[in-house]
Amino acid sequence: MLGHQFVTAAAIAASVLFILSLGGLSNQEKAKRAVWYGIVGMALAVVFTMFGPGIGQYWLMIPMMLIGAAIGTVVAKKVEMTEMPQLVAALHSFVGLAAVFVGWNAEMERARVMAMRAAGESLDGLSAFAATLAHKTPAELTFLQVEVVLGVFIGAVTFTGSVIAFGKLAGKMDGKPKQYPGGHWLNAGAAALSLVLAIAYLNGAGFWTLLLIAVLAFFIGWHLIMGIGGADMPVVVSMLNSYSGWAAAAIGFTLSNDLLIVTGALVGSSGAILSYIMCKAMNRKFVNVILGGFGGTSGPAAEIEGEQVAIDAGGVASALNDADSVVIVPGYGMAVAQAQNAVSELVRKLRSSGKNIRFGIHPVAGRLPGHMNVLLAEAKVPYDIVLEMDEINDDLASTDVVIVIGSNDIVNPAAQEDPNSPIAGMPVLRVWEAKQVFVCKRGQGTGYSGIENPLFFKDNTRMFYGDARQSIDALLPLLD
Amino acid sequence: MKIGAPRERYEGEARVALTPESAGHIQKLGHECLIESGAGQLAGFSDEAYEQAGVTVVADAAALFDQADIVIKVREPDDEEAGRLREGQTLISFFWPAQNEEMLERCRGQGASVIAMDMVPRISRAQKMDALSSTANIAGYRAVIEAGNQFGRFFTGQVTAAGKVPPAKVLVIGAGVAGLAAIGTATSLGAVVRAFDVRPEVAEQIESMGAEFLFLDFEDSQDGSESGGYASPSSPEFREKQLELFRAQAPDIDIVITTALIPGRPAPKLWLEDMVAAMKPGSVVVDLAAEKGGNCDATVPNERVVTDNGVIVVGYTDFPSRMATQSSLLYSTNVRHMLTDLTPEKDGQVVHNMEDDVIRGATVTHQGEITFPPPPPKVKAIAAAKPKPKEKEPTPEEKKAAEHAAFVKQTKSQVSMLAIGGVLMLLLGQVAPASFMQHFIVFVLSCFVGFQVIWNVSHSLHTPLMAVTNAISGIIILGAVLQVGSGNWLVALLAGISVLIASINIVGGFLVTRRMLAMFQKS
């Protein structure tokens, strides 16, 4: 058995390692080392806590860890890069569920210790968490109850929210926003009821209140995320990421464990910042995204004149052969069509003939922050030609050809030109400034948001209809 | 329907309105194609080539006019051809209805519908049938080639063992389609190109083609959008300034290509006698406006003249015809697009829809009536150029004041936030036990560290960031580990399950992160 001082030292080391691990993600090369910091930190934390004072039941704990590790390994090896969003969502749900269980456990242990104390039994024989509880003052126990409520509530919202997000991202569920009549009033009602129950619980109403709070929170998580559409998923996933952190932090308070608090706070703030970045990239308020629906428009959208002119692979190929600089703007459509490898091949071919090929990535392209970068990396596109919106926007005017693959709203000029557009003010990639734009799209019609895109009607835009992967594959043999 | 293309009668005209390629497309619309024997000869298309494309070769023009429902031509019809038109027949060709009123009346009298390719309105949708642009494009290109032919020096500057060659200086007047094509050709040959146009909004196009825009600072500049993208006559004051600008350029310029035309008017005189006189011997003037009287005083239509001081002035009017193959290919494609619009169902049935802006605009006679000039199209050719508001440069004092104000505002909001936070902490400290406050300090500091660290995470690594935070939020396993030793079986069970799922999280999260990061490669 290791003493308290070892456990504390390990916790400090682990905290530092976690911070280094997150900080190391500032660039691709450092990141490869940073992930090892995280792994070592986690190993230290788990091993030292396991063999710390007052822990038992290894016959249950170690097999569970091994099974969990095995499942985790299999999942991590098998997952396709296009499935990353749903994997992330699924993993969030686990943290949420674990937080709910640990919170319930804390309450059960508390009740047991209180009962023993009331009966005047000796508390010396207790082990593990119960032993810690036995030393707490009544005021500390009251605070512990508050922390339990918070942990359970946030954990439960995270759990069902993540399950729904997983279902929507994996396509097992309709991606369209859906809500019961009453909408957000139902959520507000459930939240108010939870508050009442929490007050009852603090006044000694018993374990059933905690169960009910969890059930209500399950409902809120489920109903809230059901009401959010597919394209807002980057925000939702970051938000759930944040919640899973806060849930861990709340549980850390309950268990008086600083390492849990530190880690929970790190994860929580990380998710919060990601949500903020995503919202800013869509020029929308966080509340507006979470409560669903686009902001109200102030008038009719501007009329679009002209027609969408189609082009075939031959036309695109000859333009590419003549171009010196090409920018590719991928979107969720590329992920859906699994076109990243075809795109990578296209890039390889164009680069080998000495052309300047770059990618322009909008912050909210895809269904997960940084989704496109990961897909392109998987397809072996070098990351130094994959640029952010702000890095590439000013170069677009001097670009010969822009190829838009499966993105729509993030290249919509209406966001800048039409003050009545629902997405007015959203920062977009100004692809229409390039000499020629090819839009690779499955067919006519508006995208997820239902907003007409004037880009498709511009004089220098040609529509390259068809499945993204097949279209690019058709293009490849036609290039010199 | 039968679509027929006769041989062009006009002296020196080598183009043809139907090529084997366009015939293939027209047949797909459900039409049948006819061609007069030998019509494509001068443009490089033999009768055999047409036959291979499934076109019926007809012996002479009379038979062709007799059989065809739609006659497609390049030049406007001559008297004989007009006489062959019959009621219900449609003629598609260049027509110049404003200058050819007599012929227009004649065609109306014959009862034929005439679609003038030169009257296709300048709107986005009609670009594919804009034969004027495709013709002008060729003329612009050819003008430079012609100038190169007459000019005794290189276009591009070179330093050779045999001495240094300065680059040719080319001035292009009028940056319409022909002007821009000329600019593009001349720059790609290596010349130093300057260009002028009365419409200031084309400056950007000129610069994008690689030429220098000669800017004329004049208040009353023209807005080309008012006249469908074409130039209109300028005021005498403006003209004076413009000529002054040209006069200053004349001694320096080797080649002048003038393309200035105003629709429905004689070409404006822009390159005057004295400017020609000021040019160096051996310099070349190519006047693309020769057919409409010429932009240059010295121009003689259809002739190459050499002035007393040795300046060569080229006034050919048949530049497109000098590149008959290319011209025919482009023109026939324009005509083919017109036929596509006339055959909306692609079933060989022509619908002469007078509600359609493009067809209405191009039709000059229909059902025995003259329909020229057309009403203005419903869609404007190009958006009106928005006047650029001049941003006022703030003075250093103003800048300083603004910065100071922002600083004060920021300080105020930060201080008030800190004050509110401090008061909240104080209140919490009143009720919370000391042990809680200790943990709370750790929590707040961690949030701060988190915020500082995460802002530096590279955008492209956001997905790995989420996977890592996912893995480390599996730290919740510690909670379960602390509880699993409890005597209560239910607690132990729930804790056991938590250990299991948190392990999935930790291992899965880290492994997938590693997998992702390994994929990021530098080129």
Q: Are residues B107 and B142 in the same domain?
A: no
Residues B49 and B8 in one domain: yes
Give the whole-angstrom CA distance, residue A411 versus residue A162.
Answer: 29
Is the CB of residue B46 less than 8 Å away from at least one CB of chain A? no
Q: Give yes or no for a contact between A165 and A89, defined as CB atoms under 8 angstroms apart.
A: yes
CA distance B127 to chain A (A): 9
Query: Is B381 part of a structural domain of the chain?
Result: no
Q: Are residues B171 and B94 part of one domain? A: no
Among A139, A146, A126, CA closest to A251: A146
pLDDT of residue B99: 80
Least confident of A383-392, A413-422, B19-28: A413-422
How big is the A-B interface in CB pairs under 8 Å?
385
Residue A100 pLDDT class (50, 70, 90 cuts): very high
Do B327 and B310 have their domain in common? no
B129 to chain A nearest CA, in Å?
14
Which of A:161-220 have CB within 8 Å of B? Answer: none
Contact between chains at B462 and A77 (C-beta distance less than 8 A): no
What are the pLDDT digits (tens) for A148-175?
A: 999 999 999 999 999 998 988 887 877 6
CATH topology of domain A313-478: Rossmann fold (3.40.50)
C-beta atoms surrounding B411 within 10 Å: 10
Q: In this predicted model, which residue has the larger pLDDT, A303 or A357?
A: A357
Phi, psi of A405 (to 5 degrees): -115, 105
At residue A365, the pLDDT reads 82
Over residues B144-152, the mean pLDDT reads 91
pLDDT category at A297 given cuts 50, 70, 90 is very low
d(CA B111, CA B367): 6
**Does the beta-carbon distance from B481 to A386 stay under 8 Å?**
no
In tens, the pLDDT along B426-448 reads 888 888 888 888 888 889 899 98
Half-sphere exposure of B233 (CA within 13 A, CB side): 8
State the CATH number of the domain containing residue B69.
3.40.50.720
pLDDT at B229 over 70: no
Test B482 with A383 for CB contact under 8 angstroms: no
Query: Does the pLDDT at position B170 exceed 90?
Result: yes
Mean pLDDT score, B106-132: 84
Q: Do B122 and B71 have their domain in common? A: yes
Q: Considering only CB atoms, which chain B residues are within 8 Å of A32?
A: 517-518
Instruction: Return residues 436-465 of B near A (CB < 8 Å).
Output: 436, 439, 442-443, 446-447, 449-451, 453-465
Confidence of residue A96 (pLDDT cuts 50, 70, 90): very high
Mean pLDDT computed over A304-319: 80
Counting Cα atoms < 13 Å in the Cβ hemisphere of A357 gives 21
pLDDT given at position A331: 86
B127 is catalytic: yes
Q: How many CB atoms lie within 10 A of CB B451?
A: 15
**Are A72 and B506 in contact (CB < 8 Å)?**
yes
pLDDT digits over A397-413, tens only?
888 999 999 888 888 88
Domain residue limits at B22: 2-129+323-370
> What is the pLDDT averaged over residues B153-160?
86
Q: Residue A479 — very low, low, confident or very high, per pLDDT cuts 50/70/90?
A: confident
What gap in Å lies between CA A57 and CA A47, rounded to an integer?
A: 15
- Chain B: give the shortest CA distance to residue A38, in Å: 7
Asked whether residue B80 is domain-assigned, the answer is yes
The model's confidence at residue A441, banded by pLDDT at 50, 70 and 90, is: confident
Domain annotation covers residue B22: yes
pLDDT in tens, B310-342: 999 999 988 888 899 999 999 998 999 888 888
One domain for residues B350 and B312: no
Any chain A CB within 8 A of the CB of B428?
no
Told to judge if B230 belongs to the known catalytic residues of this protein, a careful annotator would answer: yes
Q: Are strands B113-116 and B363-366 parallel, antiparallel or unpaired?
A: antiparallel
**DSSP annotation string for A173-235:** S--S----TTTHHHHHHHHHHHHHHHHHHHTT--HHHHHHHHHHHHHHHHHHHHTS-GGGHHH
Assess whether B118 and B201 both reside in one domain: no
d(CA A13, CA A48): 11
B512 CB within 8 Å of a chain A CB: yes
Q: Is residue B8 part of a domain?
A: yes
Q: Dihedral (C-alpha) A427, A428, A432, A438: value to the nearest 10 degrees?
A: 180
**pLDDT greater than 50 at residue B232:** yes
The arithmetic mean of pLDDT across residues B270-292, rounded, is 90
Q: pLDDT value at position A40?
A: 93
pLDDT at B388: 47
Q: Are residues B467 and B421 in the same domain?
A: no
* pLDDT at site B392: 59
Q: Decide if B293 contacts B324 (C-beta within 8 A).
A: no
Question: Is the Cβ of B189 closer than 8 Å to some Cβ of chain A?
Answer: no
Please check the confidence at residue B297 and state whether its pLDDT lies above 70: yes
Q: Which residue has the tokens 């930790």?
A: B506
Task: Name the A residues in 279-298 with CB < 8 Å from any B CB.
Answer: none
**CB A45 to CB B478 under 8 A?**
yes
pLDDT over 70 (residue B218): no
Look at A64-78, A281-295, B327-341, B428-442 and tell me which has the smallest mean pLDDT.
Answer: A281-295
For residue B147, being part of any structural domain is answered with yes
| Residue B513 near chain A (CB below 8 Å) | yes
Q: Which residue matches tokens 């825009």? A: B213
Q: Let me know whether B423 and B289 are in one domain.
A: no
> Which residue among the candidates B7, B108, B122, B194 is catalytic per the annotation?
B122
Are B135 and B122 in contact by the 8 Å Cβ rule? The answer is: no
- A273–B451: do the CB atoms touch at under 8 Å? yes
Looking at the structure, tell me whether residues B124 and B152 fall in a common domain.
Answer: no
Selected residue of A27, A39, A277 to mutate for chain B interface (largest B Cβ count, 10 A): A39
Q: How far is CA A70 from CA A66, B478, B503, in A?
A: 6, 19, 9
Residues of chain B positioned with their CB less than 8 A from the CB of A69? 503-504, 506-507
* Closest-CA residue to A406 (of A369, A375, A377): A375
Verify whether the Cβ–Cβ distance B499 to A64 is below 8 Å.
yes
Domain shared by B145 and B122, yes or no: no
In sequence order, the β-bridge partners of residue B4 are B34, B71
Number of separate domains in chain B: 4
Report the amino acid identity of residue B485.
G
CA distance B59 to chain A (A): 37
> What residues 97-126 of chain B have any CB closer than 8 A to a CB of chain A?
124-125
pLDDT reported for residue A448: 55
In angstroms, the CA B285 to CA B76 distance is 29
Peptide bond into B301 cis (omega under 30): no
H helices of B343-461, in order, are: 357-362, 396-431, 434-454
Q: Which of A124, A312, A322, A409 is catalytic?
A: A409
Q: In this predicted model, what pLDDT tens digit does every residue of A249-277 receive, in sequence order?
A: 998 888 888 899 999 999 999 999 988 88
Report residue A341's pLDDT band, with 50, 70 and 90 as the boundaries: confident
Which range of A64-73, A412-421, A443-452, B229-238 scores highest in mean pLDDT? It is A64-73
Closest by CA position to B198, among listed B180, B213, B182, B177? B213
Residue B13 lies in a domain: yes
Query: What ranges make up the beta strands (E) of B352-395?
Result: 363-366, 369-370
State whether residue A65 sits within 8 Å of chain B by CB.
yes
Chain A, 371-410: which have a CB under 8 Å from a chain B CB? 371, 373-374, 377-378, 380, 382-386, 388
A347 in contact with chain B, both atoms CB, cutoff 8 A: no
Task: Read off the pLDDT of residues B14-58 as tens digits, 9 standing for 90 and up.
Answer: 999 999 989 988 888 889 999 999 999 999 999 999 999 999 999
**How would residue A186 be classed by pLDDT, with cut points 50, 70 and 90?**
confident
Domain boundary, last residue among B296, B317, B338: B317
Determine whether the interchain pair A25/B488 forms a contact, defined as Cβ–Cβ distance below 8 Å. Answer: no
Q: B447 in a domain, yes or no?
A: no
Give the 3-state secondary structure of residue A328: strand
| More reliable by pLDDT, B378 or B281 | B281
Domain assignment present for B378: no
Min distance A470 CA to chain B CA atoms (Å): 24
